[in-house]
Amino acid sequence: MTDEAQQAASDTLWNLWQHGRRITALAGVHRPLTREDGYAIQARLERRSAFPLFGWKIAATSKAGQEHIAVDGPMAGRLLAERAFEHGSQLRFGSNHMRVAEAEFAFRMAVDLPPRAIGYEVDDVLASVGTLHPAIEIPDSRYVDFTAVGAAQLIADNACAHHFVLGPAAPDTWRSIDLSAHRVVGSVAGQLEREGVGVNVLGDPREALTWLVNELSQLNVPVRAGQVVTTGTCLVPLPIARGDHVRCDFGALGVVDVSFGE
């Protein structure tokens, strides 16, 4: 894709996001055909933010999630500071199309991880983590049918990023916990309840974090100290509506909640 086509695609997706509108798909020369094209378009969305990048998200970290949106692997997206909120916040529901909330393990980095030729190992990445947090992601898409457009267009659309809620830091004992076996319970309005476990996130949230770092490294993009990486939903996404309160209980790792207004 030309720079002009990438910018036009980015402009389209940004304007749709800001106004809560949707299209069937990017078309013609504005349509990304490769993951690299998708990431190039996504990178231009970051430049719209008035603040340093808050962090990163991973979409489609479970086989069920990948099958649902017809992709063969996970995808990285950017968390913009304007769309990141604290535990206990009330968010505007707006025109959210996906209408789900996801319980996620999130890591705040303490050390930069720059791009390098040799892939990072899990131990390398964990040594660069400052804190672990329970988190809730509220994704959305700028496509009418996000299950039909393919990975390149989903990546361009910031891997369905929308709103993100970061819970309090977990006790330091998280490092001695087997996160792959760690149980999480999500509930909506005190009624619907679903359970998940860390193994649903690429086998282990720590593996998912390492995948993200290596994915960005291949794109020559660093993960910076202070940035948060949220690693994908560990339970079947929770359906939400206006007025709902969502609570995700990570047991010994803490609790995070969010509510929705109009």
pLDDT digits over 6-51, tens only? 999 999 999 999 999 999 999 999 999 999 999 999 999 999 999 9
Q: 3-state DSSP: the chain helix, strand, coil percent, rounded to 5?
A: 30, 30, 40
Domains contained in the chain, number? 1
Over the range 210-223, which residues count as b (16 or more CB within 10 Å of their CB) and which as e? bbbbbbbbebebeb
Above 90 in pLDDT, residue 66?
no
Q: What is the pLDDT of residue 172?
A: 96
Q: What is the pLDDT of residue 238?
A: 97
Q: What is the pLDDT of residue 69?
A: 84
| Residues 219-237, mean pLDDT to the nearest whole number | 97
Q: What is the pLDDT of residue 232?
A: 96
Cα of first residue to Cα of last residue in the chain, in angstroms, is: 39
Q: What is the pLDDT of residue 187?
A: 98
Give me the CATH number covering residue 80: 3.90.850.10
Q: What is the pLDDT of residue 70?
A: 85
| Residues 213-230, mean pLDDT to the nearest whole number | 98
Contact 29, 5 (CB under 8 A): yes
Q: How confident is the model at residue 80 (pLDDT cuts 50, 70, 90)?
A: very high
Residue with tokens 């063969």: 72
Average pLDDT, the chain: 96
pLDDT digits over 121-157, tens only? 999 999 999 999 999 999 999 999 999 999 999 999 9
Above 90 in pLDDT, residue 62?
no
List of residues 6+ apart from 191 with CB closer than 8 A: none
Spatial CA neighbour of 165 closest among 117, 214, 103, 216 = 103
Q: What is the pLDDT of residue 63?
A: 79
| Residues 63-68, mean pLDDT to the nearest whole number | 82
Domain that holds residue 234: 3-260
Above 90 in pLDDT, residue 64?
no
Residues composing the chain: 262
Q: How confident is the model at residue 189 (pLDDT cuts 50, 70, 90)?
A: very high
Q: How far apart are CA 211 and CA 27, in angstroms?
A: 30
Q: How confident is the model at residue 68 (pLDDT cuts 50, 70, 90)?
A: confident
Q: How far apart are CA 230 and CA 212, in angstroms?
A: 10
List of residues 6+ apart from 123 with CB closer than 8 A: none
Q: How confident is the model at residue 72 (pLDDT cuts 50, 70, 90)?
A: confident
Beta bridge partners of 230: 57, 106
